[in-house]
């Protein structure tokens, strides 16, 4: 039997060798793990949990940014649409006189007749007029594509609120008849009233092209 001091030393050496083996095993395990991390993953291999979470966060961020861009686009588009629908007040260079036509006869209007002579394809025509209204300013006047005639154009006029009631009364009394639009004692256009217009929105149809519609607008403005 070994002396006590020798036995204690032998036990200490065994513990030291065991600890050394454990350290070596742990180091070898770490080295194998590091080597696996450096190897390329085969296509379709499972992604480590931390990487999957990072990819999920990246995809979520891309989705949020895309949604933000979409909302911004819709907002800008909406603003452009609202801007296009805004009216532009127009002060007329000369009053636009609107009269109901009571009678039309061929030839020039005789002196003293309450009427106006218009020149059309068939020759001069005398239009006798009833009491009308005078428009000095409109809320909007523009050329637009015709909703009734393919490829045609209309002139849209929006009256101000102060003139709408008088115009509604005028059109209510002349449904099925013509209105004479007169500027500086010149007959500009002669639209027929299909129905009473209560909202002040007038659409004059007839110009065959945009150039003709633009000329009609200039004439209605007194320019």
pLDDT at 185 over 90: yes
Domain positions in the chain are 87-95+133-221
Banded model confidence at residue 66, pLDDT cuts 50, 70, 90: very low
Q: Are strands 133-145 and 90-106 parallel, antiparallel or unpaired?
A: antiparallel
Name all contacts of 174-177 with Cβ < 8 Å and 24+ positions apart.
174/100, 174/101, 177/100, 177/101
pTM exceeds 0.85 for this model: no
The predicted pLDDT at position 130 comes to: 95
* Among the ranges given (49-58, 103-112, 176-185, 197-206), the one the predictor scored with the smallest mean pLDDT: 49-58
Q: Do the beta carbons of residue 104 and residue 187 sit within 8 Å?
A: no
CA distance 198 to 212: 27
Name all contacts of 142-148 with Cβ < 8 Å and 24+ positions apart.
142/88, 142/217, 143/207, 143/210, 143/213, 143/214, 143/217, 146/205, 148/205
Fold of 87-95+133-221: Gyrase A; domain 2 (3.30.1360)
CA distance 190 to 166: 19
- As separate numbers, helices (DSSP H) first and strands (DSSP E) second, the chain gives 4, 8
Q: Do the beta carbons of residue 157 and residue 89 sit within 8 Å?
A: no
Mean pLDDT, range 99-122, rounded to an integer: 89
- Of the candidates 197, 187, 203, 196, which has an alpha carbon nearest to the alpha carbon of residue 96? 187
pLDDT at 54 over 70: no
The per-residue pLDDT for range 132-170, each reduced to its tens digit, is: 999 999 999 999 988 777 788 999 999 999 999 999 999
* Among the ranges given (36-40, 130-134, 151-155, 194-198), the one the predictor scored with the smallest mean pLDDT: 36-40
Q: Do the beta carbons of residue 118 and residue 125 sit within 8 Å?
A: yes
The helix (H) or strand (E) run that includes residue 96 is strand 90-106
Six-digit token string for 7: 């036995």
């Amino acid at each position: 039997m070994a002396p006590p001091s020798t036995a204690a030393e032998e036990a200490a050496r065994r513990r030291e060798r065991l600890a050394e083996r454990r350290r070596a095993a742990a180091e070898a395990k770490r080295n194998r793990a590091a080597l696996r991390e450096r190897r390329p993953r085969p296509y379709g291999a499972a992604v480590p949990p931390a990487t999957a979470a990072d990819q999920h966060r990246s995809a979520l961020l891309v989705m949020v940014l895309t949604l933000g861009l979409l909302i911004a686009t819709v907002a800008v588009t909406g603003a452009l649409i609202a801007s296009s629908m805004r009216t532009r007040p127009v002060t007329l260079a000369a009053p636009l006189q609107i009269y109901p036509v009571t009678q039309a006869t061929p030839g020039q209007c005789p002196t003293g007749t309450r009427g106006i002579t218009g020149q059309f394809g068939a020759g001069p025509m005398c239009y006798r007029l009833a009491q009308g209204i005078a428009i000095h300013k409109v809320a909007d006047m523009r050329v637009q594509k015709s909703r009734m005639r393919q490829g045609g154009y209309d002139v849209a006029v929006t009256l101000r609120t102060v003139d709408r009631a008088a115009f509604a009364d005028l059109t209510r009394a002349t449904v099925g008849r013509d209105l004479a639009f007169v500027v500086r004692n010149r007959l500009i256009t002669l639209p027929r009233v299909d129905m009473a217009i209560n909202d002040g929105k007038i659409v004059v149809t007839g110009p065959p092209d945009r150039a003709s519609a633009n000329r009609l607008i200039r004439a209605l403005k007194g320019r």
